[in-house]
Structure 1
């Protein structure tokens, strides 16, 4: 078959319009609009959600730049809409191949932003010298002064922060990490439980970023018992901003124990808080739902038999300093010591819908039930007019069981604990949920897969190496926070400020493959697609709430498939339970955010990325750094694969927020292909001669899910570091795929881990897997297609895009044989759309939309939501029969990509 001559864009548009009545025109290029100023190079930025923060303790964001526009040595200015300059700190996140800046990270210090809603970020000739955070390093400690608060961070031992001061006053001290351990579960042998406390022990501490406006300290280690056992590794980052009275902690734990004997009773961060005020001037604060606050004094003066007076009561209720006792009415002052002082308080969020607050006078005495509520915002404070310490956990109720403790507030030193796993809850039980049911051979395991969709293998359903990352904030305050300030602090904790660029600007720059459209839809069909995209996101938001997809290990993930008979998601059926990024749910959410710019979409995508990057991936142990396929337990599946741990799912959060922990996760994947020497993805279904090798430098990779994941890691690392070795491995892999007899349809080969080059396969037969392109390969290949412009690779990719959904006759004519019956044709319509645009082929453009609307292997008819209540269900819920997460993600991606490419 002769190659069809490439026609001009004008001819193509005219022909396709005549052919289809205008339904298959190519998407028009966006006008430059006002988001990038050509002369100054300024980018327009706004707040995520268009709401300026009333309380700002510093924030960080990422911004992209057009290729060749910003030199690597450039500095940056941030100006508000009224032209006022705002000091910022800047650093590179990624580079274009020509060496110009592609992504940059920026940080703004603490300060007033409540009246500013629009900003211009522009490069200047050189970075400005800024006087800000002062850092002193000695052999034993780091000392950090933000201008408001002074911190001392020891380099060894079990204190991550030894003191927090505001001037001469010590606000908090002895900051430490703690894990509570028990050797049996609560249910199995309650009378034989042995409990042990482990304290975080520093193995390594480094000043990861030293800046005038933002400095970051990274601390690594493990929790150690008195007997010397190390258990539960940790990675903690502390973020300090200029003029801030608070610091942020990003806290990661990695489970490295044995599920049968290691049960976690508590995970927490502790500080001691010196108490100097009178007992009646010491105050407790807990955040409830919305703007509700639990507000009490250690020694209350209200409700007494004798009235201390309105002024004294008003001062105590406001948290202000009360006049000396000598000025109290005599009938109060003479007996004030008989008013009980309550020193211990605890807020326990045991599930997503209920918290309780209790207090007692001291250990050894009964707790009093103080209050109950639904969803605590996770912020607490203790102190008085001479100083207070506030502490909070982000996504507190969503990540239950959580607990906030304040103890000994009636003594000279109170102890606070932010519990990420609450001691008041049952111990964490990570054991696998069944005994294997005799699945001791591959054939038996494949039979089980056929009935429950669970890919089981003895020893593979382990939590060893999975991680969990939490975000916390701590405030050193000069006095008791007022109610208004306390609620503003809650908002800062729950919704950290973020500056964002308009989706149209990101499209102009060409990041993430430009695979979304940001213009208002121009046709009824496009409007219908946009409405359906909105419907699916709204529906899944409802499912999260109605089915309570919350909890320490679960928050951020969706379920895979619905059980219409029981009216529940299949939480207990093998591979149908937790989704674990199956068919690129993460990418669907991120591209939907890029399309809409909606804050609520960003937050859902952010939570999913935090979860899937940590919980669904092994970060240590025999399966590191591979991810686990969907299962009843996030780590339960024996399919440990690159397609789940892929950097393709993480790049959005990293580049938009400059989050260092997400950067860690992507860096883990740079050498991830080596893990396939130990854990072969196709070991159960392909003969060993296909993938086996005695050469430790050669590993079998599929050209689909495996290489797509490796390419995402290598592309990101090359962009971030300009590492020439990584670049060459990436290019070699691309070139050697392009040179295969059937390109991508050669399916896979052995790759040289040192060079990235694939062996040329011997078979001349073309084959395909329906999964190859639906775990990020499409998005990464399109990005590389445009970024690298390698002829052999581009030709192979266009062939893959065109032939996957082609007729058997076309496949046989072009490839030499048909590909047989394939699945997910609707999801692959976006591949047809891409080749249609690149070849300016109206026939392929028409075919792409026909494939999309036909819905083969996807969604033919969109489900309709209905409300269900009564005895058939435990609680009222919204149900849409036929909606599954796989199909929704692929429909959403195909819809957005086709609109972006073809219009």
Structure 2
């Protein structure tokens, strides 16, 4: 298995961390102890691994590898993972060391020594030393802080640590997970948090991930500020430093940078620089690239040591601010100078930061290069070579020379989505508007149809970093904003994902009082794909929570006839099948397989002899409904793929025959056969199952039936997030089978 790593920023990397999940065929790899990593020069590279998923025979299905690279600016290197069939031992020069004493931890990366005290509250850093110099002392870090609309301060330092675990312990990388709450001086509690600290062998920086979660029972909580502060142990006069690329701004007087509005590109825009009186610093240089705007980082240093903090995607998730007051850096994830943050019940938001400790001035330490390198991270791609790509099913291989027009159109669609549809700002980054009118005007999509999955499929095909960056943004939006972390009104929906709606919430969704979730609008595969590619534990945890929410809703009568929402029909059963199938494929846990079988049996038992299922439109029972039929077929095909039960395949074949009748005389699908809904319908939802039926029957008419919809999909240039998710998750499967059948032509 080979990984290709490109340096994309124009800055040489030394000992820079790289990680990627990689798939293996069943029976090929049974242990990770025999693996070694070799670069293009034949040099053996220390590698740390974690098993993410197993095949049914307990061989390794997905494996995360972590290693560190030296990579010249704008260069590319290939790293090959080799199975030696015998244990491999390759030590790092400076492995991470962790010492524990009654919930007091000392982490030594070989470059910095960090002390963390988890006996009561969570300061984040209780002490940080670089060599003999203590850069941060006990009172130098105040943890995570929240100020509510009444001006009351809450802090993780004053709160309780409810849980912590070392998710990884080296030798190359160590990850500490901590959860707890924020409390005031009087002991009043507000919001829980989840935090991760990631340390790297031989490096003088760590990564901090912080999620604050509104678990309060009020509908909304208004906040004035959310922040993280660090006050280094400096006795001499200090200097603050910010910048953008090579340009820097330094001052020994207090100043701050502030992103008032979200920016669509961090290359051409940045934060503005103000003094503490609110006066904007003006510069004479004209032009976007020459203005001394600052990107999302700030450094504070004396003559010999310093600390730099860089907030990932700061301008994309605005408003944000970072201030320097000669004593400390204050990172405001929601700035006090903005209007109040009204955070709905059950929502959360995650931020990631680099915290770098250096032993010279910020300019001499070239902290601007570290910040840019962190913002433009290394993104390894998997070289599949002659092996087919498979992620919850086969994926159309990337052959730009053979199919240039198809691949150009897919990239055009993505470019339009990024430039015109991807949401920006604190709530919207990682989502998109639905661009609808009438009752759904102003709706955000909440990544419906599983946009993270579609982006993961395209990233696996191409290896292009832009797709992965969008996958990361959409996955975290789903885990933070769309995910129901808390619900005082309806505990049944806790752990689910909200259906599309205004400001990401549709109250009484689909006409059901008290619900913001529906079984027809919850997905797991995108989060599972993100987990398999990154190893991020939260993605797996959230996906399993969605699965458990679906199980509870099924027990309460959802997803089974008679359906709670009359016009949904079979899709209410089929979408959960797909969610459960993904969970079973990744975890192997039989509760998910049992749920697949239960719902697939219901779909088979409620199917009419002509292959249709009912959909109620008023008094009218519609039976020609390509949308519902297509989703039902997809669920049956997924059930057949993981169980091998021929009843599910036969049911899908019967539905496929009915689908052939669900057209106008010209051959294009109709939307619904009920009067008033007999519209032309070009949908990709049918593509995956039609390709699957061709594969298992050899009947080419299934591929031919889909051709008009394939062409319509590829001819659509302007697509929002819903459109991208809706088309790619099915299209990239269909194209695989169409090429295998030698049916595919490079035509759009």
TM-score band by shorter chain is 0.7 to 0.9
The residue that corresponds to 2:266 in the other structure is: none
**CA shift digits 1:855-903 (9 cap, x unpaired):** 5xxx59646xxxxxxxxxxxxxxxx6xx565445434444433321112
Q: 1:793 aligns with which of 632, 640, 648?
A: 648
1:132-155 deviations in Å (ceiling 9; x for gaps): 111111113111111111111111
Q: Secondary structure at the match of 2:63?
A: strand
Residue 426 (structure 2) aligns with = 552
**In the TM superposition, what whole-angstrom CA distance separates every residue of 1:576-599 from its partner, at most 9, and x where no partner exists?**
531112234333333232333222
- Displacement after TM superposition at 1:393 (Å): 0.6
Per the alignment, residue 350 of structure 1 pairs with: 260
Q: Distance in 2 between matches of 1:801 and 1:72?
A: 42
Counterparts of 2:494 and 2:689, CA distance in 1? 32
User: Which gives a bigger RCO, structure 1 or 2 (Cα 8 Å, sep 6+)?
Assistant: 1
Gaps of 5+ in 1: 1-41, 184-193, 299-341, 361-365, 431-462, 564-569, 692-699, 749-764, 811-817, 864-879
Number of the residue aligned with 1:442: none
Give the match's secondary structure for 1:560: coil
Call closer, same or farther: CA 1:99–1:784 in 2, change over 3 Å: farther
CA contact (8 A) 1:55 1:492 kept: no
| CA gap 1:285/1:671 in 2 versus in 1, 3 angstroms | same
> Residue 228 of structure 2 is aligned with which of 269, 276, 281?
269
- 2-side partners of 1:51 and 1:99: how far apart? 42
RMSD: 3.8
**1:733–1:637 distance in 2 versus 1, CA, 3 Å:** same
1:118 equivalent in alignment to 2:73: no
Structure 2 counterpart of 1:628: 498
Give the match for residue 713 of structure 1.
583
What does residue 181 of structure 1 align with? 147
Deviations 1:469-525 (A, max 9, x none): 1111100111123378323212222122232203556x5253331222312364xxx
User: How far apart, CA to CA, are the structure 1 residues paired with 2:293 and 2:214?
Assistant: 28
2:249 aligned with 1:294: yes
Q: 2:482 aligns with which of 616, 621, 634?
A: 616
TM normalised by structure 2 equals 0.82
Structure 1 position 245, deviation (Å): 0.6
Contact 1:349 1:403 in 2 (8 A): yes
Q: Give the superposition deviation at 1:799.
A: 4.0
Residues 561 and 577, structure 1, Cα contact 8 Å, conserved in 2: yes
The answer to whether the 8 A contact 1:208-1:217 is kept is: yes
The Cα shift of 1:531 comes to: 2.8
Q: Within the alignment, does 1:128 sit opposite 2:5 as a pair? A: no
1:438-587 residue pairs with structure 2 within 5 A? 463-482=344-363, 485-502=366-383, 504=385, 508=388, 510-520=390-400, 522=402, 527-544=404-421, 549-561=423-435, 574=440, 576-587=442-453
1:835-858 CA distances to partner (integer Å, 9 max, x unpaired)?
1232111232222214434x5xxx
Q: Which residue of 2 aligns with 1:829?
A: 687
* Worse-superposed segment, 734-743 or 679-688: 679-688
Decide whether the 8 Å contact of 1:593 with 1:601 is kept in 2. Answer: yes
Please state if 1:102 is matched with 2:61.
yes
Number of equivalences: 689
Q: 2:629, 2:655 within 8 Å by CA — same for their partners in 1? A: no
In the alignment, is residue 726 of structure 1 matched against residue 581 of structure 2?
no
Matched, 1:899 2:735: yes
Look up the SS of the partner of 1:216 in the other structure: strand
Secondary structure at the counterpart of residue 558 of structure 1? coil
TM-score (structure 1 length as normaliser)? 0.69
| CA–CA distance in structure 2, aligned partners of residues 286 and 256 of structure 1 | 35
Q: CA separation of 1:142/1:771 partners in 2, compared to 1, >3 Å: closer, same or farther?
A: farther
Deviation by residue 1:85-116 (Cα, 9 ceiling, x = unmatched): 11111110111112111111121247666566
Give the secondary-structure state (helix, strand or coil) at the position aligned to 1:370. Answer: coil
Identify the match of residue 331 of structure 2 among 415, 418, 430. 418
1:841-856 matches, cutoff 5 A: 841-853=699-711, 855=712
Which residues of structure 2 form unaligned runs of 5+? 264-269, 284-290, 510-516, 615-620, 666-672, 740-748
Cα offsets for 1:281-322 (capped at 9, x unmatched): x3221133x4432223x2xxxxxxxxxxxxxxxxxxxxxxxx
CA contact (8 A) 2:175 2:197 kept: yes
Q: CA deviation at 1:655?
A: 1.2
Q: Do 1:376 and 1:396's aligned partners in 2 also have CA atoms closer than 8 Å?
A: no
**Maintained 8 Å contact 1:48/1:500:** no
Structure label with greater radius of gyration: 1
1:263-294 Cα distance to aligned partner (Å, 9 max, x none): 111112222201144x3xx3221133x44322
Query: Aligned-pair distance for 1:178?
Result: 3.2
Between 585-594 and 267-276, the greater mean CA deviation after superposition: 585-594
**More displaced stretch, 265-274 vs 701-710:** 701-710
Counterpart CA distance in 1 for 2:123 and 2:600 is: 51
Give the direction of change, closer, same or farther, for the CA distance of 1:860–1:219 in structure 2 (3 Å limit): closer
Match of 2:105 among 139, 142, 149: 142
Deviations for 1:349-394, whole angstroms, at most 9, x for unmatched residues? 111256332335xxxxx56543576864211111133211111110
Give the secondary-structure state (helix, strand or coil) at the position aligned to 1:195.
coil
In 1, the alpha carbon distance for the partners of 2:11 and 2:22 equals: 18
| Aligned residues of 2:232 and 2:328 also touching (Cα < 8 A) | yes
CA contact 1:737–1:793 (8 Å) conserved in 2: no
Matched residues in 2 for 1:497 and 1:540: separation?
23
Report the alpha carbon displacement of residue 634 of structure 1 after superposing the two structures with TM. Answer: 1.0
